[in-house]
Chain A
Amino acid sequence: MTQNAFFDDSWLKLQRDYWDGLAKMGSQAMGMESSPASNSAAAPWLAAMEQWRKALAPAASDPARDFMQRLMDQGQAYFGLAEQFTKGLGDAGLGQGGDTTRAWDWLNQTIEQMQKGFSGIGADQDESLRRMLGFWEMPLDNWQRMMSSLSPMMPGDMLRNMPNGMMRGPMQEGLEQMLSAPGLGYSREEQAQYQDLMRAGIDYQRAFQAYSGFFNQLGVKALHRLRDQLQQKSEAGETINSARGLYDTWVGCCEAVYADEVITPEYSRVHGQLINAQMALKQRLSIMVDESLGAMNMPTRGELRTLQDRLQETRRENKKLRQELDQIQRRLATLPAVAPADSQAKASTGGSTTSGTSTGAAKKTSARKKTAAKPSTQPDAS
């Protein structure tokens, strides 16, 4: 057990009491029965935070609720990091004024353990370590959220939780061989479409695995960077003496490693493959949806797209003509008026339409001025 009771008792109790108080206050404010907030002995503040969020979220506006969630998530990451380091050091009896060599050993062991976590080894990490590693899930989590918003039919994490090795080795070869078998009989085309869809799904999962694999490597590099930076601070006689300082150092390391790596051609390739695979999968789904709509004698997306293109072409032409006509009218309006007698003489010979046009243009110009004075002028109603 720990040699520093503060980490086990005082600090956790302090947090638990505080968060329990907030949770109770929040629940009462919402007219709800308060429930015990700190169910988890390992991270009472985490349970309290969650309880608090649940109590307050229904009363918040959408942006505020989303924002609140982000604050909670980051609060968890922030506290989690502090917990990982301070509690770890405390447990090992290496708090303030402890044995420096042993402290470095502890740090190296912790970093090694975290590296295993990034490599998928050691599934039995403690909760605080998982939260710290979870920080590196953020870019992937952003992708999943975005993916879900684009494909309601296919939740973002649908393919994510397939076992890592599933799309490799003999199983993959067998599946791909099966999917390359030609369809037979009356439904041959339909079979081929399903095969294409499944192939696209496999390609997407492979691309996603490559993408998340890239991030796992970055996580390991960020840990190296953290160790190097702590070493540099040590040599420079600097110390981190706040949880925020530790958190900011960790974010700085992650961001610096990320910036170095995502500018590389390798990342460009992995990123491109992920987007392309996602789009190819979505395209296969769209083709099948269109097929079904067509079979029901309903307009398809493809047909609508064709109509949109044609309509836009016509509108473009109309607007251009309207603009040219406008310009001509404006120019005509600036020409000096022609004497009626002269114009009549010309009109009788059929030689010019200047007079008529000029008068017409003047009227139109006047009408245009009125129109122009009104807001909301729509030059083309098509």
Chain B
Amino acid sequence: MSLRLIFKRYQSYSLSKFSNLEELKLNTSDFKGLFKYSTLNELYFQRGEKIVNELNLQLIENKISPPSSLNELIKLTINKPELIKIYNNATSLQNLNFFFENLKESSDYSFPVIDSNEILKSPILEDLEEVNNNFNIDKDLKDWIISSFGSILQFKSLLLNSAHSINGNGITWLISQPRNDESLKFSSFSSNFGNKDKLSIVNTYNNGTIDDSLRSNQLYKNQKQKELKENLKLEKEPEQQEVVEEEFNPILGTIEEAEFQNLFNEKSIIPLLAIDASPRNYLKDYGVFGNQRYLDNVWKCINWDIVKQRTPKKDSQNFSFDYE
């Protein structure tokens, strides 16, 4: 596959301009409930700027005229090792945009000094009903979450615990993915979002992209390619081909084999929410011990209207990953 983009003129990417963030930058005020101004500036504006500059520079260096959407660019570059830098910057930018897009300021906040006692602190227990009642979001979305995870509290603890378990850089995503037929049979749930989709929580690390159709079967592809090559070699020297009777192996296959065989079909995954759990997000304002506190604050700062906007529409079942 070659990049068939020569017809377009050079185009460069820029950092998404979110009106709420721009306003904060103008007044150099804190992102209430989550980040101090200096941190926000470094996390979003400076880091974003750096990524965008590198990306554009590399596009020019490699003489690539990029497609209009970042997602297209990722699709084009993911399987090209020589363009790895472009891919890395493109996903970084996309993930950064996506995360900051689904945040809004929240009213109650403080940045206390968090010391080592935080590790031993008992988790704050929440009432199932209370969490449910305080979770004021679009009713359809709420029902969908409850039917997928059992309750809002369960959803919350799974989401935040998943993010908490990320050691290095990474993002926890809420995604909508098509149900496989098996689970469809037993599902009594039907909603406006269509029977075929269910919500799940997934982690990606470093510059991983959430788009499963691109990401998931990489090893498989490589294996196939290698087999193909070896087969070509074998055809040249057919005398080497020997039929070896395969021994019956009663042991179950590895997870890898299972993945190869059936897990990753071409799934169209739609990301709805991203929580960036990388250490850079909490180290500055919350300190080394502040991971949990940071995530608790993120929960309060999620903009569920945006999440709702990202959900697949009622009537159409074919979605694209694009957003702008």
Note whether A and B form a binding pair: no
Residues of A within 8 A of B (CB): none
